[in-house]
Structure 1
């Protein structure tokens, strides 16, 4: 009899096979490539190039921007960094944590099909679980098992995203990797700097998981709401138009702050909501990543 993580992986594999057929670029890689470190040549800079590859010495001598080209590895190491803090357990439908876990498992399976190694960092504010990178389906199943395990301890602190990202930087320091960060980015400010440092070393894909109720409060009448991070409770009249308008404005301001922090960190974040079809969102993410590569 198969267990729950194995059934989940089988289900996702079936959906991946149908929905992503023909979207992989080659038999050994996905649209996310490995990143070799061997310098091979210089060429003129184009607007699509990563500014981190600009050779500033040559640029200064020739008074024209040039970028370094590197030999690309046929094998890569990918990491799934999954925020499992209290705020991720909020949400309608499957909830933010479930969506993040399913995406991580799907991406891990997608990448591992080319023989690439995949690891995971699961952070829940109390402790972190690290799954060292390995290749193969059994490794993806191990990640699925860890990602779907119940978090037994609760924290009364807001998510320390800085600590999560610093842990990711320390854990992945040995080799340039492809790092997926999956979080709602609800936590203490200041995480943009460690995210920028992680981006400087690795290719980073940020997936921000959001519930629609966080963007616009639904009219549910008088309800008791609880802060998932701190446990603070408050009685709220969601039918009050003034309150709903104020919360919508606050949500908009927070979206702008998050977008500014992502830009500061040099990351183009993918936003996925809990009411989206997860595989459709993944296909769209593959398309967007592929367009940026060309």
Structure 2
């Protein structure tokens, strides 16, 4: 999706409907909200553990008595409330002019809002943009989808401070009281300390984490000497991209950071999904839904 500062929420949502959502209807072969629905809150039964079950559902007291693992099953709630926790900080402006990370963020918001809201499910959001947090209470319908898209499009962060993703997650812990599906969308370029509030969210809600990435963050092309600027601090540095050693160190550092992020998210019992600015959004949604479906078996 080409970046267009004059694009209205209605025009963007219509574009997403034609380019992504119509394809998803056939590819997903079912209700998208059902694929992403988590456990309900009403206990249904105890049964023996089978490979692939969520380890968080193991009943350790029964397991100890029976000398074999048992898990607790819950009846699913009929209605779904989804919350989008959205990082619109300065680092999200990175990427090619035709489709940066902030463009992918807006696309994801439009897709999630439409796919959940069209079935009568409610969708709300908390938006972080380096300033005061914006909270949009959950509602259903197209008007809510347009409001969510408008809110993300209108955010223009200019702070030079490092993103504090923990503030967004803590807001989610405080605001979201009823058990919900919580979708965190960020590039996870943040100050440390977000791991604990993420775990707190996962203890009460079904949490999905989506990381938006750009290939240039891990693989610099050989284009000679260039100036790089940190979008959040404004710091600039000259680097020689023709230096194979430098590019190799950058790649190793990026890989190390990604492994640490994946491990931190997994420690909260959550699977990390990644969506690249170079990736087809329809394919990314099918992959996410498929992984959710397999994880629930």
**Is this a same-fold pair by TM over 0.5?**
yes
8 Å CA contact 1:103, 1:282 repeated in 2 = no
Seen in structure 2, the aligned counterparts of structure 1 residues 192 and 277 have a Cα distance that, compared at 3 Å, is same
CA distance in 2, matches of 1:229, 1:168: 23
- Superposed CA deviations along residues 136-166 of structure 1, whole A, max 9, x for unmatched, are 1111111011011141x52121111111111
Instruction: Give 2:216's match in structure 1, choosing from 200, 213, 217.
Output: 213
Structure 2 unaligned segments of length 5 or more: list them: 1-5
Equivalent runs, 1:1-294 vs 2, <5 Å: 4-22=8-26, 23-26=28-31, 29-33=33-37, 35-92=39-96, 93-151=98-156, 153-172=157-176, 174-294=177-297
Shift of 1:34: 5.0
Secondary structure at the counterpart of residue 35 of structure 2? coil
Q: Secondary structure at the match of 2:271?
A: coil
Structure 1 segments of 4+ aligned residues over 6 angstroms from their partners: none
Q: Say which SS state the counterpart of residue 102 (structure 1) adopts.
A: helix
CA separation in 1, counterparts of 2:196 and 2:21? 38
Taking the aligned partners of 2:266 and 2:21, their CA distance within structure 1 comes to 34
- Residue pair 1:34, 1:74 contacting (<8 A) in 2 also: no
TM-score (norm 1): 0.93
Partners of 1:66 and 1:250 lie apart in 2 by 41
Cα separation, 1, equivalents of 2:67 and 2:250? 50
How far apart, in 1, do the equivalents of 2:54 and 2:218 lie?
Answer: 32
| Cα shift at 1:124 | 1.4
Contact 1:35 1:176 in 2 (8 A): no
Measure the CA separation in 1 of the matches of 2:33 and 2:231. Answer: 39
Give the C-alpha shift of residue 24 in structure 1.
4.7
* Bigger shift: residues 87-96 or 241-250: 241-250
C-alpha separation in 1, matches of 2:197 and 2:33: 28
Q: Distance in 1 between matches of 2:214 and 2:24?
A: 25
Q: Is the 8 A contact 2:46 2:71 kept in 1?
A: yes
Is this contact kept in 1: 2:53–2:295, CA < 8 A? no
Deviation at 1:71? 1.5
Q: Which runs of 5+ in 1 are unaligned?
A: none
TM-score by length of structure 2 reads 0.92
